[in-house]
Structure 1
Amino acid sequence: MPERNLEFGKFGARGIKGHEAVARQLDNLAGFIAKPVTARCGLMARLHYLTRSDHARAAAREAGLTVTDRTLKAWLDGKQTPNRRNLTRIEDAYRAVRRRNVARYLLGRLNRDGRGTRVEFHPLNQSQVSRPQQRVVSYRTLNARHWDAVVQAWSANDDEALDHAWFDDITTDLGSDYGAYEYVTNIGFAA
């Protein structure tokens, strides 16, 4: 049943893909820097995170921040400011490195030595759908025990792999109506 919602929203239903809600929740758990990269303190925090060690610098280069050490030093000293394109690269590199760094920790928290984490599925919003077209979809909970593929896809920022991992490893445990939760208003879990 998943991927059968080819015309999602045709009758007025509203929601987002389940794997997008999961990625949003994992981003919240990762604890990214709250200040925007355009603010001086946000920029400095990201640059310090990306340059605190040789390992961090290598990960930042691998994630796409390919400026010289001299330029990085000028940014850190406040002698230069990055242009808009470099600010985007700094933000992207920071998020990629942060995801990679917290993935193992999040995986341990979510799997909890085989006990898993309770997941709440908040169904899509059908308030604008006329009665004959509405589906019977309700709030559901599930204890998910296998988060490995989900966290790996999230840390790699691979949207397609996250979609497949979410349906193959988590949502199918809902039973025969798992396709009704392809689109949701929210996915909630706390680890």
Structure 2
Amino acid sequence: MSTDGWKNFGRYGADRDPGNVHGKIAFGRALEDALERMIVEGGIKSPPSTRRGLIARMRYLMTHKGGTQALADTGITVTPATIRAWSKGTQRPRPANLEAIDTAYWNLRAVNVLKNHAALKAHFDNRGRGTKVEIHPINQDVVDEPRRRDNLRIRSLQVRYVWADAVDALITGDLDVLEGIWDDIIADLDSDWGAYTYVSHIGLGA
């Protein structure tokens, strides 16, 4: 397939698979997936059903701004004395409240991680080493057979310098900036760049 085929995406059937999307969309999704991993992997490991897990979640909620509201948002309406008892582990919440506490904790942690833009940028920048970007070409099974490119393969690039702008664009939902960043990334593929304007998946090694 010539580069023109990618400029006119869908002319030869590539859009028959909804998983084939512009790189800026896949790149944004990859950033979101990486952020979700940061939220989960850096969070409390002990289950909320354990005393340790309960106390850890309550401590986080009670010592971070917005914790009380996060609990209220999940529907918890108990007295301050009950909150103190949960925080000390001297009283076990009912199952519904235990689930709500866990939800409140993860919601608040997600908000706090997303607010810390500097930490997010540093995570992807990786002390100047950047982050590996794995690029999966579109699913060509749906493309008209004469227009398929059987030589396309998964490509991996160690990407530097774009992450501060990428995080800002993700937070603000600026697809135009993400598109520009994606164009810069695939430019490193030289003459093959046009074949990766649209992709099926992007993975980040972060």
SS of equivalent residue, structure 1 residue 122: strand
Q: CA deviation at 1:105?
A: 2.5
CA gap 1:28/1:127 in 2 versus in 1, 3 angstroms: same
Runs of 5+ consecutive residues of structure 1 not aligned to the other structure:
none
Give me the TM-score of the superposition, normalised by structure 2: 0.59
User: Normalization by structure 1: what TM-score?
Assistant: 0.62
Q: CA RMSD in A?
A: 4.1
List aligned pairs for 1:19-168, cutoff 5 A: 19-29=28-38, 31-33=41-43, 35=45, 38-40=48-50, 41-52=52-63, 56=64, 58-60=65-67, 64-66=70-72, 70=80, 71-78=82-89, 79-81=91-93, 82=97, 84-101=99-116, 103-111=117-125, 115=128, 117-124=130-137, 126=139, 129=142, 132=145, 134=148, 137-138=152-153, 139-152=155-168, 160-161=173-174, 163-168=175-180
Rg bigger for which structure?
2
Deviation at 1:148, TM superposition (A): 2.2
User: Between Structure 1 and Structure 2, how many residues are aligned?
Assistant: 174
Q: What is the identity percentage for the equivalent residue pairs of Structure 1 and Structure 2?
A: 16
**Given that residues 120 and 142 in structure 1 are in contact (C-alpha distance below 8 angstroms), is that contact kept between their aligned partners in structure 2?**
yes
Distance 1:39 1:128, change over 3 A: farther
- Runs of 4+ more than 6 Å apart: none
Amino acid of the structure 1 residue aligned with 2:182: T
Q: Distance in 2 between the 1:84 and 1:97 partners?
A: 20
Residue 167 (structure 1) shift:
2.7
Distance 1:80 1:98, change over 3 A: farther
Between Structure 1 and Structure 2, which shows a larger proportion of helix residues? 2
